[in-house]
Structure 1
Amino acid sequence: MTSPATSTARQRAGYGQLLRTEGAWSFLLPGFLARQPYAMLTISIVLLVEHTTGSFGLAGAVSATAGVSMALITPQSGRLADRFGQAAVLVPGVLLHAVAVGTLTAVALLDAPLWTLFLAAVPAGATTPQISPMVRARWAARLDRSPLMTTAAAFESVTDEFTFVVGPVLATALCTGVHPAAGLVAEASVSLVGCLVFAAQRRTQPEPSGRRAAGRTAKREGASPTSVLALPGLRVLIAGMLGIGTVFGGMQVSLTAFTDSIGQPGVNGVMYGAFAGGNMLAAVAVGVIRWKRAPQRRLLTGYPVLVLATASLATAAQLGPWALLLGALGTLTGLCVAPCMITCFTLTETLVPAASRTEAFTWLTGSISLGQATGSTVAGQLADGAGAEAGFLTPLLGTGLALAVLLIFRGALTPPSNGRVAARGLGHREAAAVD
C-alpha cells in the first residue's frame, strides 16, 4: 500500500521540484554547455570530409570510425570515473580530445592520404567527453531513493535532445556559411571550456569507489567486480540503443544527401532540427506523465511504433523529393524516439548497481554512437550507390533488428525481485507498476 508521504512525493515530482534540488544548478549549467558539442562531432566530420573528398560514402565511413571508437573506448572512461572520480578522468580526456580533433581537421584540409583520415578519427572519437552519463550519475547520487529520479531521467533526455537540435544546426551553419572546418573547431573549443568548468564542480560528483573501497562498495551495493556488460538486461538495452543510434546516423547523412540533391544544402540543419525537435517535445511529455505501466512494458510497446514511423519515412522518401513531407515524417520519427530512449535509461536505473552507473550510462550513450556510426556508413553507401532517398532505409533496418532482439530477450528486462521493488532505481523502494 502506498503511504501518504509517497503519494505526496509522486504529486510533487515535477521539473520545478527537481530543479530546486540542492547543488543541481552547479553541475547543470556547465554540463549543459559541455554536452552541446557531442551532437556536432559526427555531422561536422561528414561535412568536412565530404567537402574535401566529394564522397558521402567516405565521409560517412570516417564519421563511423570516430563513432565506433567512441562507443568501444569511452565506456572505459566511465568505469574509471566511477573508480577515481569524474574530474580525474575528464580533465586529461578533454585536453586529448582537443588535440585529436585539431589533428583530424588538419589531416582533412591538407588532403593527406585517405588512410590518415581514418587513423585520425580514432582518437577524436575515443576521447569524446561523456558529459551526459556523468550528469546522470550526479543526479542518481543526489536523488537516491527519491521518486524525482523519474523526472531527472526525462529532464536529461530533454537536454540531450536539445543538443541534437542545436548541435547539427550550428555545425551545418558553420560548415556551410563560414568554413568547412568551422564545425570541428567549434566542437573542440566548446568542449574544452565546458568540460573544464564542469570538472571543477567536484562537490556534486559521485563519491569515487577507489581501489581500497571497491571491494566494500561491491558488497554493499551488489556491484559486480567485472564490467556491467555481465548484466544480461543491460546488453538487451544496448541493442535497443544501437537501433536508436542508426536513426540519428541515418537521418544525418540521408538528409545531408537529400538537401544536396535538391540544391538546398542549407535546409539540412532545419530538417534535422525538426526531427530532433520532435524528439525533444516527446521527452518533455514523458517527464510529466505519471506512468502506470512498467517501464519494460512501455519499451516493448513503444519500440514497434518507432519501427512503423521509420517505415513511413523510408516509404515517403522513395515516392519523391518532397522536403515538407520528409520533414513532417522526420518530426514524427523524432516523437517516437524519445520515449524509447528515456525508458532504456529508466530500466538501467533499476537493473544496474549504483556503484557502476556511470559506466552503464556510458555504454548506453556509446551504443547510440556506435549505432549512429553504423547508420552513417550504411546511409552514405546507399546514398552514393542508389540515390539520396535510399539512405532513409537505414533507420528502418536498424530499428527493425533492434526490435527483434528486444522481443526475443525481453525476459532480461525484468528488474530484481520480479520487478516489484527497485532496490536503487527509479521509484526507489516503491512498488513498481505492474500490468
Structure 2
Amino acid sequence: MSETLARTTNAPATDRPTAESGTTLVQAMGRTYFPLAFVARLPFAMMVVGVLTIVVAGRDSLTLGGMTSGVVGVGGAAIGPLIGAWADRAGQRTVLLVTAAVNSLLLFALTAAVYAAVPDLVVLAIAFAIGATAPQVPPMSRSRLVGVIHTRLPASRRQVILNRTMSYESAADEIVFVIGPFVVGLLAAAFGPAAPMIAAAALTALAVGAFALHASARTTAGTGAGTTSDAAPSAAHQAPVQDLWRARVLVLVAGFVGIGLFFGATLTAMSAVTGDAGHSERAGLLYGFMGIGSVVSALAVSALPARFSLRARWLTAAVVQLVGAVVVATADSTGVLIAGLVIAGLGIGPSLVTIYSLGSHRSPIGRGTTLMTMLGSAIILGQSAASAGTGALADTVGTTAALAMPAVAAGVVLAAAAGNWRQADR
C-alpha cells in the first residue's frame, strides 16, 4: 500500500513531519506513519468479527452473536462522533491514549464474561462499551492527512494527491476488513474462539498507542485549511454544529449507513452459510472475497479521469454493488456465491473512496475529524443493525432469507447515490 503513496511522491522520507520538508506527502507524514496507521486499524476489524465468533461459540446462539456484534456497532455509532468532536477540540493524542487503554480492558472483560455464568445482558452491556470506546483511527488518520495536504503541499498538486490519498485510505480500510476477519478465522481455528479477542486487545494497546504518540497527531483537518497544533481550532473558528446536518452532508452519511448495512448483512449471512456446514468460525474467510474486489477497485479509482465526476462514480459503483448482491442472493453454489461477493466488492471500493472525497470537500470549518468520524460511525451503525437483524432472520426463517439482505442494503446505497446526484459537488 505504501507503494501507491510513493507514486504520489518522489523524495525520500523523514520520520518526523516538518513544514520545511513537507513537499511530498510521505515526507510530511514520516516514513513510519502509513505502516503504523495501517496496523492501528486492525483491532477494530478484528473485534467486530471476533465478538460474533466468540459469542456464537461460547453461547451457542447466532441470534445473540449477531446482537452482540451489533451492539458493538451501536456503541461506536452513538459515541464515535462525540469522540471525534472531543478530538477536534482537545487534539487526537489524549483521546486515542484514553480510548485505547479502556478498550483493551473491555475486550478482556468480554472474553471472560462470555464463558462466565453471567446474564446475556451483561455481555451486551460490555459489547456496547467496547464499541463506545473503540479508537477512531480511520477518521483521525484521514483528518491528519487532509490537514497536511492543505498546509504543507503545493497548491497545484493538492487535489490530485487528495484523490490518491482518499483512494489509499479506503483501500487500507478494505484490506484491514479483509485481513481482520481472515486473522480472526485463523486464530479461532488454531487456538480457540477467545484468541482473536486477546490479540485485538493487545494490538489496541500497542498499535493504537503508538499511533497516538506519532508526531502527526499535532496535525488535524478543519476544512481545506487544516491546523497544526495539539488541539484543533478554537470554538470561535469552528463552523456551527448545525452545518453537519445539512442535506449535502447527510446524504453521505446515508450512503455509509447503506454500506455498513451491506457489511453486517453479508458477514452474518456468511456465518449462517458456514454454520450450516458446521464451521461457523470460517465465515471471515468467505467474507474476505468481497474485500478482494473492494481493494482492487478502490486502488483503481485514482486512475479514473477527472471528467468521470464524483457523483457519477458513486452512482455507477452503487449499481455494480447491487448486481453483486443479487448474485449472492440467488447463488446456487459456493463458486457463484464467491463471484457475487467479488462483484459487490468491486462496487463498494469506489463508493468508499468517492464518499470520503466528497466528505473532505463538504467538511465545515473546524469539523473535519467530527465529519470523518460521523461517516465511519455511519458504517458501524449500519453494520450493527444488519448484524442483529440478519442473525435473527437466519435463526427464524433460514439462510436463504439471510442471503437476500445484502441486496436490500445495496438498494440503500443506490438510493443515497441517487440523492447525491442533486448536490452541488460534481
TM category (shorter chain) comes to 0.7 to 0.9
Q: Deviations over 1:16-36 (max 9, x none)?
A: 556644224342222111111
SS in 2 for 1:290: coil
Equivalent of 2:197 in 184, 188, 194: 184
Query: Which residue pairs with 1:334 in the alignment?
Result: 345
- Superposed CA RMSD: 2.1
Equivalent of 1:214 in 230, 235, 238: 235
Query: Which residue pairs with 1:275 in the alignment?
Result: 290
User: What TM-score comes out, normalization by structure 1 length?
Assistant: 0.85
Equivalent of 1:379 in 371, 374, 390: 390
1:355 and 2:366 are equivalent in the alignment: yes
Once residues 217 and 231 of structure 2 are traced to their aligned partners in structure 1, the CA distance between those partners, rounded to angstroms, is 17
Cα 1:13–1:104 change in 2 (3 A) is: closer
Once residues 366 and 288 of structure 1 are traced to their aligned partners in structure 2, the CA distance between those partners, rounded to angstroms, is 28
Q: Deviations over 1:55-108 (max 9, x none)?
A: 111110111111011011011111111111100211011111112222211111
Using the TM superposition, give the Cα deviation of residue 136 of structure 1 relative to its aligned residue in structure 2, in angstroms: 0.7
Equivalent position amino acid for 2:363 in 1:
V
Equivalent of 2:270 in 255, 260, 267: 255
Using the TM superposition, give the Cα deviation of residue 270 of structure 1 relative to its aligned residue in structure 2, in angstroms: 2.6
1:288 and 2:303 are equivalent in the alignment: yes
Once residues 119 and 342 of structure 2 are traced to their aligned partners in structure 1, the CA distance between those partners, rounded to angstroms, is 39
SS in 1 for 2:240: coil
Equivalent of 1:235 in 222, 247, 250: 250
Equivalent of 1:132 in 100, 123, 138: 138
- Which range moves more in the overlay, 205-214 or 352-361? 205-214
Using the TM superposition, give the Cα deviation of residue 226 of structure 1 relative to its aligned residue in structure 2, in angstroms: 1.6
Q: State how 1:92-171 maps to structure 2 within 5 Å.
A: 92-144=98-150, 145=155, 146-147=158-159, 148-171=161-184
Equivalent position amino acid for 2:235 in 1:
A
Using the TM superposition, give the Cα deviation of residue 353 of structure 1 relative to its aligned residue in structure 2, in angstroms: 2.9
Once residues 232 and 146 of structure 2 are traced to their aligned partners in structure 1, the CA distance between those partners, rounded to angstroms, is 22
Using the TM superposition, give the Cα deviation of residue 297 of structure 1 relative to its aligned residue in structure 2, in angstroms: 2.5
Equivalent position amino acid for 1:213 in 2:
S
Query: Which residue pairs with 2:75 in the alignment?
Result: 69
Query: Which residue pairs with 2:381 in the alignment?
Result: 370
Once residues 57 and 217 of structure 2 are traced to their aligned partners in structure 1, the CA distance between those partners, rounded to angstroms, is 43
1:305 and 2:297 are equivalent in the alignment: no
Equivalent position amino acid for 2:298 in 1:
A
Using the TM superposition, give the Cα deviation of residue 341 of structure 1 relative to its aligned residue in structure 2, in angstroms: 1.1
SS in 2 for 1:25: coil
Query: Which residue pairs with 2:354 in the alignment?
Result: 343
SS in 2 for 1:363: helix
SS in 2 for 1:22: helix
Give the length in aligned residue pairs: 394
Cα 1:246–1:68 change in 2 (3 A) is: same
Once residues 106 and 356 of structure 2 are traced to their aligned partners in structure 1, the CA distance between those partners, rounded to angstroms, is 30
Whether the aligned pair in 2 keeps the contact of 1:37 and 1:167 (CA below 8 Å) is: yes
Q: Deviations over 1:256-276 (max 9, x none)?
A: 220121234464333212111
Once residues 104 and 132 of structure 1 are traced to their aligned partners in structure 2, the CA distance between those partners, rounded to angstroms, is 24
Aligned-residue identity in percent: 28
Question: Where does the alignment leave 5 or more consecutive residues of structure 1 unmatched?
Answer: 1-11, 219-223, 420-435
Cα 1:45–1:204 change in 2 (3 A) is: closer
Using the TM superposition, give the Cα deviation of residue 303 of structure 1 relative to its aligned residue in structure 2, in angstroms: 1.5
Equivalent of 2:405 in 394, 399, 403: 394
